[in-house]
Amino acid sequence: MREVNPLVVPIEENSGLLEKIDKDALKIIKRLKKHSYKAYLVGGCVRDLLLGKNPKDFDVVTNAWPKKIRQLFSNSRLIGRRFQLVHVFFGKKIIEVSTFRQEDKSPPEIAKDGSVRKYENKYGNEKTDAFRRDLTINALFMDPFEKKIIDYTGGYYDLMNKKIRVIGNPLTRFSEDPVRVLRTLRHTFRTSFTLLPETVEGIRLCKHLIHDVSPVRLFDELRKDISYGFYDKFAYFLHQHGLLEILFPYLRKATSLESVNYEILSRVSEVDLNKHPHLAVALLWFAFLQNKRGIELPQIPVIHEELCELFGICRPPKGVLMKAGFLLSIFKKTLKSFRKKQPLILKISDDTFYCLTKLVEIVYPEMLNFAHESGRYHSGKDWKSEVKSKATNRP
């Protein structure tokens, strides 16, 4: 790699920026420095701090190797097989600490779970670590103790000028890993920055390569977008760049994009995707395919078939699809009972009951109100006992 002198930008004392840094992240950096290692904040947290936002997460990068980091922090554990990271725990909070890396030019291997495995991951230095990242605005380092920003890729001025720039040639970078197309659009949408013309052209020419990415890996990227919120607006943004139809090819033959229920999409982010990914899948089915039909649900086999076809190349694991189909079948039974105003006995777990009530609340709130008024929708076992009691005592 050619010699590059980084831009060093001092952090002003009265900027208020340092006060927003997580105290535990500072403890990690301080301890690493105490043992003569380099350590910086890196990535999205630096970007958000410079934009005046409060970062959701703080990541630390260092030249200490993972096993050494693990030795320095008893409240930590190693994760990852082929390239190890360290998670340092502070109660429920986790701060990720990684070692400087360099770009791995070997082709990746896709595991059965959709994860990407590279056999020749190599440690590097701060310069190689900066240039291996996707976007210049995510390649900035911050030293909170020396009060400076370190920029190898031009990300600082891109941030000040509100530009999204891919590190390296966009066509090459997108071809190496097509998921970068989706990530680039995600950051463009979140920051409201401007895509450079060469990046727009790279997206146009390389977006079809997303078909070659593992469906499970794509679904994992989709989870990140949903958890951020405003998925309704982001979905429309993907449509403008021709990505929504690629991710959800069934939309082209099932319905027009103008008929997508963006109101339901806007609430998908309320779902905890770690606990209830099947609920999010069920809501996406409603948002994308059910709007033209009204509230008339098709037969259960049709629902299962549409779930599989909807998530063509960003398909969730089979178990998630099956649970989403089961949840929609229960919703169909509940809707039928509501219309006939008949009590319904469902032998379902408390977790399934929660997902059902959340689905009803978002899709058909009138049914939830009726159920509450009729005394049939209390929580968990109490609700099921009451319904069973009412059914038993009917004349």
Q: How far is CA 200 from CA 102, 194, 267, 268, 308, in A?
A: 26, 10, 29, 28, 31
Residue found under tokens 């260092």: 62
> CA-to-CA distance for 245 and 214, rounded, in angstroms?
17
Kindly report the length of the chain.
395
SS3 for 267? coil
> CA-to-CA distance for 132 and 117, rounded, in angstroms?
16
Rg (CA), the chain: 24
The catalytic residue among 22, 48, 129, 134 is 134
Q: Is 26 left (phi over 0), alpha (psi -120 to 50) or beta?
A: alpha
* CB-based contact 311:248 (threshold 8 Å): yes
The catalytic residue among 57, 104, 143, 177 is 57
Spatial neighbors of 250 by CB under 8 A, at least 6 apart, are 288, 289, 306, 309, 310, 312
Sign of the CA dihedral with 362 first, then 347, 349, and 219 last: negative
> CA-to-CA distance for 195 and 187, rounded, in angstroms?
10
> CA-to-CA distance for 50 and 45, rounded, in angstroms?
9
* Phi/psi at 99 (5° precision): -95, 145
Residue 360 identity (one-letter amino acid)? V
Residue found under tokens 């429309």: 236
What are the tokens at 5?
């002198």
Is residue 57 flagged as an active site residue? yes
H or E element: which one contains 392? helix 380-392
The catalytic residue among 48, 59, 151, 232 is 59
Residue 280 identity (one-letter amino acid)? A
Which residues are annotated as catalytic?
57, 59, 134
